[in-house]
Amino acid sequence: MEKKVTQNIYDQPEFFAAYSQLPRSLHGLEGSPEWPAARSLLPDLQRKRVLDLGCGFGWFARWARKYGAAHVLGLDLSENMIARAKADTDDLGIQYVIADLEQVELPEASFDFAYSSLVLHYVENFERLAITLFRTLVPHAHFIFTVEHPIYMAPTHPG
């Protein structure tokens, strides 16, 4: 069977250039409309081992470290995103790694909290990822995620 290639629009130069001008790219979490709601749901991150699925420019990983996370692993498919995330920190408690969430393997019971912002709508095999995530999180860990809503993404009707 032919292996499916995962979409990777963030490594297309025009798309990445346009994405880099969005408020969330320029201003980070404060420029992200969903952040106040997501933040209100977060557990205490003190000493937590944190996983950020689809970390993008890495803003959340840096925020989590600022608020006490022991370590953050940020995963993203895009070389552009990971290069930019790496360029913005020298914190040894953060690891940014290129990885495809359709295929990622993660060590068992190794994280206390997982976060994912505006990424899961890209993942076709969500069931596989959910199983991987369940295994890599310790019991009673939390997973907070957001996905795109049509109110922001739907094309406007001409009439």
Ligand X SMILES: C[S@@+](CC[C@H](N)C(=O)[O-])C[C@H]1O[C@@H](n2cnc3c(N)ncnc32)[C@H](O)[C@@H]1O
Phi-psi region of 95 (alpha: psi -120 to 50; beta: other; left: phi over 0): beta
Contacting positions for ligand X (CB under 6 A): 6, 10, 24, 32, 54-56, 76-78, 81, 100-102, 117-119, 122-123
Query: Could you tell me the smallest distance in angstroms from the CB atom of residue 63 to ligand X?
Result: 11
Nearer to ligand X among residue 54 and residue 114 (C-beta): 54
Give every strand in the sheet of 111-117, ordered side by side: 94-98, 71-76, 49-53, 111-117, 137-146
Which residue's beta carbon is nearest to the bound ligand X? 56
Q: Which residues are within 8 A (CB) of 40 and not within 5 positions of it... i.e. 6 or more apart?
A: none
Nearer to ligand X among residue 54 and residue 141 (C-beta): 54
Query: Could you tell me the smallest distance in angstroms from the CB atom of residue 59 to ligand X?
Result: 6
Nearer to ligand X among residue 9 and residue 109 (C-beta): 9
- The secondary structure of residue 156, as a DSSP letter, is P
Query: Could you tell me the smallest distance in angstroms from the CB atom of residue 115 to ligand X?
Result: 8
